[in-house]
Chain A
Amino acid sequence: MTDRTTTWTTPQLWAGRIAILIVFFFLWERAAASKFIDPILIGRPSGIAAYLWAEIFITGSLIKDLGWTMLGTILAFLLGSACGILVGMVFVTRPTVEALLSLILMALNAMPRIALAPLFLIWFGLGLGSKIAIGFSLTFFIVLSSTVAGGRGVNPDHITLARTLGASEEQIFRKFVLPSAVPVIFNGLRLGLIFALLGVVGGEIIASEHGLGQTLTVLAASFKTSGVFAVIILLALVGVCITWGMTWLENHLLRWR
């Protein structure tokens, strides 16, 4: 985060970031309190804080919904990325299969997923299944295309070297193609996880029994704007945590980069 040249230290940067947020929320609160903008439209930071406090620490309902959303996201991500990597690897090693299927898959991927959501609801029900299906349908294609790109990006010198050494196809794949694809696959995974979250929340907004998306619709329908903002802030925090977590994992697993 600090690789461009900045003379500020990390604590200074954090102090700066927090200061910006405090000013922002202060102005927001003032604007709402003075009715400069109607709080029905923008909520109030104090209302957001009160909502978060009540629903996290007193009733615990937000935590439960967050749990549902995350469960759906993680399952959609795991299934989608596992299938994406698997199919991607088949494409990389079997060009005929790719030539056969890639166009069909491209057409499938071009379908607007949110428009398919009602179908998924009919097929998989109101519960977790339909949310996983939507998340899966987004993650799968992202991870698939990054896997194919990564598998193609192998250094031709490595292949020449491998052939002079007498490496088998299996050795070439395991020792050269796969490891050189990993960083590109990782970018796909990072994006895939965010999109899994997006798909699951989107599905919950359309129709659901649980989850943050469902809470969001209920709050919006009853004009509890502060509550809506609270859920949005919570989702943003989840997104940041996901990105951080993936970056940490990447730096940890790909130390050689």
Chain B
Amino acid sequence: MSDRAPGTIARNGTSVPATGRHRGSVHIHRVSVSFAHLLVVDDVSLTVDQGEFVSIVGPSGCGKTTLLNFAAGLLPADVIRGTYLVGGKPPESGNRDIAYMLARDALCPWRTALENAELGAEIRAVPPPERRQRALDLLDKVGLKGFEHAYPKALSQGMRQRVALARTFSLDAPILLMDEPFGALDAQTKLQLEDVLLSLWQRERRTVVFVTHDLSEAVSMSDRVVVMSARPGRVIADVKITLGRPRSVRALQKDPAYHELYSHVWTKLEEGLAP
């Protein structure tokens, strides 16, 4: 249903150089993960296409973050069985096709907002004028114009997470991996930042894999919501979210179609939790 959106801008948006149609996709086929004989993820298959916004929801410990960390190359290859391809390649740390965002902002307190927004591109050796321009542009887009030279201690939690968003989006990676990026924020700030994230995503339509335990967040932002069971995590539902684009998370709060989808996903999640 996302085709309904006026945004024909983007499947192969200019800012994402597409080298082959796999570059922005995540392909998980019959993947199981175990740590020291503890089965964490059990036979999960999941494909995220280029430009898709997919959320993975599930109770704590269901292995959703493990799946994400694996994609980012943060886990050793020997803990999994099955096929896992990120942008058509096996996961590796430092993959330039990936930008990763954590639950905590992970800003460097000794860097200004601008320097923090530039950090990722700096490590990936993007030339200074280019990365500065991108960082300035993104700080503007996340609503931090005028705070470029503020240090994190002077910023609120919400503002700090906006800087982290800017840092993530200023990488030219086609795949964005987000691990509960708004989990530590209060409800009001969270809604604001969800809209900021959607507006950034709407411009370029990069692939997003978004891990959360907040159903409303998943339903309101995603094209698809993947529901996982309690440990060992299995996929128990893959629900298409047939809400139009572009969306406003705040406006959706009063939309009956949204609430219907929400209760549908909630039912699936409850089924998964039932013994």
Residues of A within 8 A of B (CB): 155, 157-158, 160-167, 171, 175-176, 179-180, 182, 254-257
Contacts and interface: CB of A to CB of B under 8 A. Distances in A.
B110 interface: yes
Nearest to B164: A161
B96 interface: yes
B80 interface: no
Nearest to A167: B123
A164 B110 contact: no
B96 to A, nearest CB: 7
B73 A163 contact: yes
Given A158-B108, A164-B94, 9 more contacts: A160-B100, A160-B102, A163-B74, A164-B74, A164-B98, A166-B96, A166-B124, A175-B123, A257-B153
A171 B153 CA distance: 24
A166 B123 contact: yes
B160 to A, nearest CB: 12
Contact of B93 (A158, A164, A257): A164
A164 B164 CA distance: 14
Interface string B102-118: 10101011110000000
Contact of A163 (B93, B104, B108): B93
Contact of A167 (B74, B94, B98): B94
A112 to B, nearest CB: 38
Contact of B102 (A161, A180, A255): A161
B104 A157 contact: yes
B12 interface: no
Given A163-B73, A165-B94, A167-B123, A256 B153 contact: yes
B123 A255 contact: no
Given A255-B151, A256-B151, A166 B110 contact: no
A223 to B, nearest CB: 55
Interface of B: 72-74, 93-96, 98-100, 102, 104, 106, 108-111, 119-120, 122-124, 151-153, 171, 177
17 contacts: A157-B102, A160-B100, A161-B102, A161-B106, A164-B94, A164-B98, A165-B119, A165-B120, A165-B124, A165-B171, A171-B123, A175-B119, A175-B122, A175-B123, A254-B110, A256-B152, A257-B153
A52 to B, nearest CB: 43
A245 B96 CA distance: 45
Contacts of A160: 74, 100, 102, 106
A175 B110 CA distance: 10
A164 B93 CA distance: 5
B109 A164 contact: no
Contacts of B109: 256-257
A176 B94 contact: no
B123 A165 contact: yes
B93 A166 contact: yes
A154 to B, nearest CB: 11
B150 to A, nearest CB: 10
B106 A157 contact: yes
Contacts of B151: 255-256
B66 to A, nearest CB: 14
Choose among A167, A182, A256 the residue with the greatest number of B CB atoms under 10 Å from its CB: A256
Contact of A164 (B72, B104, B108, B122): B72
A166 B95 contact: yes
A164 B73 contact: yes
A257 B100 CA distance: 26
A163 B108 CA distance: 15
A252 to B, nearest CB: 14
Contacts of B124: 165-166
Nearest to B105: A157
A176 B73 contact: no
Interface pairs A-B: 5 shortest CB-CB: A166-B94, A164-B100, A157-B106, A256-B151, A165-B123
Choose among A165, A167, A175 the residue with the greatest number of B CB atoms under 10 Å from its CB: A165
Contacts of B94: 163-167
B128 to A, nearest CB: 15
B123 A162 contact: yes
Contacts of A255: 151
A163 B76 CA distance: 13
Contacts of B73: 163-164
Contacts of A158: 106, 108
Contacts of B95: 166
A45 B93 CA distance: 70
B123 A155 contact: no
